[in-house]
Structure 1
């Protein structure tokens, strides 16, 4: 296991006092190692879990050529001359029950969607395209279709012996359906990540405590808990820990043996009480960063025992932004997920001018909507103070202004990181 100093030595231009956001992501990719423990879970309980091995299809899906339409199946070679085609109906093929008869030239079989294509037939004309042509006969109009139309090929979804899903896939609803189509009642997955979280500070009130002058209620812990729960982690909520060495040491020593990761909020900024920083240093291998970003400049990372530590800022918006930009991708990596990038960025036209100097990454809360021309447009939520938590409720994404980027004019395209399914 590499020390933080060894990881830092691998990164060109590493400067903990002015760290670009991209370097933070590179650092955390080296720090956060996947857990190795696996378990078998029932398919109905596998949503959001990460596959621990490739799933190889035991058979092809679909297992036979079948009809994509209700209509009539026939040999498409008869369409070669481009003329209308009269066909005699000699049977009916139903879904789930293959038709066993023989079909000759000038004949067809009435077929239902999903029914196995009878031998020698490769084309289906939809029922609504046909006209009656006497008793038990139909006419296929000229030019209505081409040979092979409306036939699903055996194995066009999945082929026997080939991977259906790869190790590291985070299972969504579509993946669960795909696994069910293979008849699998359970799947091997990595165990859930165990993450401990607590807030620090003498000014932080727990819910239920009476208000007092200069104190604020703890919002960060509930935000972090929600983000972790949505990610599929097991959350160990250690509450509010005061700025007292004994309490801080007890919290860290309690969390480290049980948790894969520890997330704290507060106590890592310049000028704050030194107890949290000192205790992190005393108990583990920890680095303190000043990231070239807004909001969320101060951050601590490292290890305490075998737990990865993320010390986030105290301001509510900064907590959410640093979690989305840095912590979430690192936790996904620890979960064994192969897709550990931050949420993908979309392009939208700015509806207002935004001032920015090159040299830091800014994440502004934005409201993305559809413009009259069908493209995306975005405006800020207004006040971008890192304590304005209501702006994160109003926003549906973040406007990402990159490190080297300058000010934005009205109509300029900017990157946006959408919240849907993440926040």
Structure 2
């Protein structure tokens, strides 16, 4: 087990011996676990949410030519300047420029060209007057332009310049990015039909606990339905993994050993829920130790302290706690970033969004572990956004995650929060598995 006590490179800021701070645990994991996902070329329509593995370079300028930002009329600014102070002007319309059908030739001196949004600017034109600011006759061959409009027209007005959005040769999408709809659109706008992305990691998932029952089965005395497995599957699929559901496994050493041995041979990762604490029925840790090695155990976090990372051969094993809120919090803040790293994601992609918010609560606790409170934002009478925690900190209340819209982060050395203090708020929308 790697801790500050046996690795001097890790700062020992936790008050509880043997616990590792979250960012230190992730840094160690990123160093010890290589990128596992291979690269594949996929059609851009299949790349949403995938991790990009190579820089994408612009092939064309955007726009590819100077074009109009508005529907209106193209002019030579110098021609208009000659009309300043002469009163309202009557100007002939010498042609039309449409998107995909540009005006051929040079704008005739002293004339205007009818132009549509996105259409190329005619040769010799260098400003646009929008159609609402002129009066045209019925067949749009003649314009009346008021002296005020002429006086206010400036050079390059309402013109998008070639390359003002994207210049050929620049990196438009960096490697390591998780591809969003706008990213796919930019790639398509550069003519890319396919992109180099990570193949999904293969992850085997199961829950342990003799008290668990499958949804739909009769509940045994004192039993509960397994919900953790479905939370894990959802988080894994949301971050781009292919999941094999191994179901429920009994609290039996030989059963667990056989299942993990088989899964490790055919999967990149095994993720489990339960069995990682120190009770007699918590067998996952000794099973992994018998097949491979434990590389990290116990983090200075709440909820989710009994979290394990190990390996069996080349397969990474992540053991999440048994309490449902602990599964989700430790899954979102440790397991998902590690999986994204294994798929080649950039560090920024692996880091949750943290926003400042005003505490709408008082809170007191002992220090030593970083803690996350399930929370949502609410506006006060002055329009300020306040972070409001759930009424209970119990890690067994899964419904609190349904109520919540994010997490309030309490640092290891913070023992008290007062109303009005600034706190860090992690919206679920800024976590990669939501």
TM-score range normalised by the length of the shorter chain? over 0.9
Name the counterpart of 2:51: 50
> Offset at 1:255?
1.4
**Structure 1 gap segments, 5+ residues each:** none
| C-alpha distance 110-375 of structure 1, shift in aligned 2 (>3 A) | farther
Q: Distance in 2 between matches of 1:135 and 1:159?
A: 37
Query: Contact 1:268–1:288 at 8 Å: present in 2 too?
Result: no
| Aligned residue pairs, count | 421
Name the counterpart of 2:30: 29
SS in 2 for 1:298: coil
> Offset at 1:299?
0.9
Map Cα deviations across residues 121-171 of structure 1 (whole Å, 9 max, x no partner).
222121112245996123151554432121111122222222221222211
Question: Is 1:396 matched with 2:405?
Answer: yes
Higher mean alpha-carbon deviation, 14-23 vs 382-391, is at: 14-23
SS in 2 for 1:281: helix
Map Cα deviations across residues 202-256 of structure 1 (whole Å, 9 max, x no partner).
2222223321122211110000001111111100111111111111111111211
Select the residue among 278, 281, 284 that pairs with 2:289: 281
| C-alpha distance 185-135 of structure 1, shift in aligned 2 (>3 A) | closer
1:217-228 alignment, distance < 5 Å:
217-228=225-236
Q: Distance in 2 between matches of 1:302 and 1:295?
A: 20
Q: Distance in 1 between matches of 2:79 and 2:126?
A: 11
| C-alpha distance 262-36 of structure 1, shift in aligned 2 (>3 A) | closer
SS in 2 for 1:368: strand
Q: Distance in 2 between matches of 1:210 and 1:373?
A: 51
Question: Is 1:385 matched with 2:391?
Answer: no
Question: Is 1:337 matched with 2:338?
Answer: no
Q: Distance in 2 between matches of 1:166 and 1:125?
A: 39
Using the size of structure 2 for normalisation, the TM-score is 0.90
Name the counterpart of 2:190: 182
Q: Distance in 1 between matches of 2:236 and 2:426?
A: 18
> Offset at 1:414?
1.0
Map Cα deviations across residues 166-209 of structure 1 (whole Å, 9 max, x no partner).
22221111111112212222222111111111111222222233
Name the counterpart of 1:114: 118
Query: Contact 2:56–2:171 at 8 Å: present in 1 too?
Result: yes
Name the counterpart of 2:433: 422
1:351-366 alignment, distance < 5 Å:
351-366=360-375
Higher mean alpha-carbon deviation, 140-149 vs 127-136, is at: 127-136
> Offset at 1:114?
0.6
Using the size of structure 1 for normalisation, the TM-score is 0.92
Map Cα deviations across residues 268-313 of structure 1 (whole Å, 9 max, x no partner).
1133424221111111121453322211111111211111121111
Query: Contact 1:60–1:155 at 8 Å: present in 2 too?
Result: yes
Higher mean alpha-carbon deviation, 251-260 vs 13-22, is at: 13-22
Map Cα deviations across residues 7-56 of structure 1 (whole Å, 9 max, x no partner).
x7473236872222222222222233212511121121111111222222
Q: Distance in 1 between matches of 2:92 and 2:8?
A: 75
Query: Contact 1:42–1:187 at 8 Å: present in 2 too?
Result: yes
Question: Is 1:137 matched with 2:137?
Answer: no
Q: Distance in 2 between matches of 1:252 and 1:54?
A: 37
Query: Contact 2:37–2:342 at 8 Å: present in 1 too?
Result: no
SS in 2 for 1:367: strand
Name the counterpart of 2:417: 408
Q: Distance in 1 between matches of 2:39 and 2:329?
A: 31
Q: Distance in 2 between matches of 1:373 and 1:152?
A: 41
Q: Distance in 2 between matches of 1:177 and 1:10?
A: 47
Q: Distance in 1 between matches of 2:114 and 2:29?
A: 60
SS in 1 for 2:332: helix
| C-alpha distance 65-102 of structure 1, shift in aligned 2 (>3 A) | same
Select the residue among 288, 298, 303 that pairs with 2:306: 298
What is the alpha-carbon root mean square deviation over aligned residues? 2.5
Query: Contact 1:79–1:85 at 8 Å: present in 2 too?
Result: no
Higher mean alpha-carbon deviation, 151-160 vs 129-138, is at: 129-138
SS in 1 for 2:207: strand
SS in 1 for 2:363: coil
Name the counterpart of 1:258: 266
Q: Distance in 2 between matches of 1:356 and 1:32?
A: 34
| C-alpha distance 358-48 of structure 1, shift in aligned 2 (>3 A) | same
Map Cα deviations across residues 365-395 of structure 1 (whole Å, 9 max, x no partner).
0011344444421211211100000000000
Q: Distance in 1 between matches of 2:8 and 2:131?
A: 66
